[in-house]
Structure 1
Amino acid sequence: MFAKAAAWAHRNLPTRESLERNRLLRPVAHRVLEPALWRFTRRSVPRGVALGMVTGILFPVAQVPLSALLALPLRANIPTAALTTFITNPLTTPPLWVAAYWIGSRLLRYEGATVHVGETWLHWLVSQAGPSLVVGLLTLTATFAVTGFAASALGWRWWIVRKWRARALRRAGPAL
């Protein structure tokens, strides 16, 4: 499955050359196309994952451009940040928002968020649902960003250790 996803990404993601030729990016191409932002390293990938989680959850519109833009000063991996924003999609957004509302209402100690007689939906949204949703989204974002950062850093470390061990076994040669 990972190989199929990697092949799809390789076919569909823009190349460095196509980005260099883009007339809209020409004024900032030197900064956007800096090799360190596109290289997969142990520091830039976890930053990209955390940044993608933040922009994916908190910003419902223009997630990918925003994550790419924010990756510049944060020195995060741009492809990782852009791809991680897809944690939110039409299938995952409704459960995420329900969970955020539930978490926020628990943190703010709202017992029953029901509309009372004579109260408008707008009043309910502003007085109970809005603050709960905002607090819940911020809590989920922080949790997902920290967890994503830690998981990708540990995953990177695990992958490198496996490569080192395999190389050491190859160097040791066949056992007698």
Structure 2
Amino acid sequence: MAKKFIRRYLPDPHKIRDHKHLRLFGTLLHDPNLWHLNRRSASGAFAVGLFMAFVPMPFQMIPAAALAILFRVNLPIAVALVWITNPITMPPIFYFCYSLGAWLLNTPVHAVGYDFSWEWITTELIRIWKPFLLGSFLVGAVCSAVGYLGIRGLWRWHVVRDWEQRKLRREKNT
């Protein structure tokens, strides 16, 4: 079952509760709904994690954990999914978000060089922030919705398939 497959790769809840960045949530991490693995919690965690993956901010895991706690969805899945945008994948993903936002706002796409300094932030980022944030929000919202619906549908399909297999086994044994 999908539940067994996912649970095999999830870390121990006690390790996550003791993680140095997540200690700020204190006793909120003791809510059992954050650790349950069912269709609602997994699909909600995918929605939260995929949305936060496309939010251009540092330390995305902390807001993802806060949203998982707020919506009472699976915390490990939500936090793990923000790593879709990691230092290797960030430039192409965020450039796509910027290009999409520029296309939607009907503005030209500027060639953006990446020099992470204060001067770069004050010159380049000020010029591209509107299309970049619009594209990031839109891609995050679409990926979040697709992830939510996809996991719910996949989970449902898997449960129905298991029920049909049990039914066939029972009919075969009688």
Using structure 1 for the length normalisation, give the TM-score.
0.77
**Which of 68, 82, 90 is 1:85 aligned to?**
82
Q: Distance in 2 between matches of 1:73 and 1:58?
A: 18
Larger deviation, residues 38-47 vs 67-76: 67-76
Q: Is the 8 A contact 2:97 2:132 kept in 1?
A: yes
User: Which residue does 1:164 correspond to in 2?
Assistant: 163
Identity of aligned residues (%): 27
Superposition pairs for residues 3-14 of structure 1, below 5 Å?
9-10=9-10, 13=11
Superposition pairs for residues 60-75 of structure 1, below 5 Å?
60-75=57-72
**Which of 93, 98, 105 is 1:96 aligned to?**
93
Superposition pairs for residues 1-176 of structure 1, below 5 Å?
9-10=9-10, 13=11, 15-18=12-15, 25=23, 28-29=26-27, 31-111=28-108, 113=110, 122=122, 125-127=125-127, 129-174=128-173
TM-superposed deviation, 1:65 = 2.8
TM-superposed deviation, 1:38 = 0.6
Are the structure 2 counterparts of residues 102 and 18 from structure 1 closer, same or farther at C-alpha, using a change threshold of 3 Å?
closer
RMSD between aligned residues? 3.3
- Which secondary structure state, in structure 2, belongs to the residue aligned with residue 43 of structure 1? helix
TM-superposed deviation, 1:153 = 0.9
Q: Rg bigger for which structure? A: 1
User: Which residue does 2:116 correspond to in 1?
Assistant: none
Larger deviation, residues 95-104 vs 105-114: 105-114
Using structure 2 for the length normalisation, give the TM-score.
0.78
Q: Distance in 2 between matches of 1:57 and 1:171?
A: 47
Are the structure 2 counterparts of residues 6 and 94 from structure 1 closer, same or farther at C-alpha, using a change threshold of 3 Å?
farther
Number of aligned positions between the proteins: 164
Are the structure 2 counterparts of residues 93 and 26 from structure 1 closer, same or farther at C-alpha, using a change threshold of 3 Å?
closer
Q: Which has the higher contact order (CA 8 A, sep 6+)?
A: 2
Spell out, residue by residue over 1:136-167, the C-alpha distance to the aligned partner (whole angstroms, 9 max, x if none): 11111111111111111111111111111111
Q: Is the 8 A contact 1:52 1:82 kept in 2?
A: yes
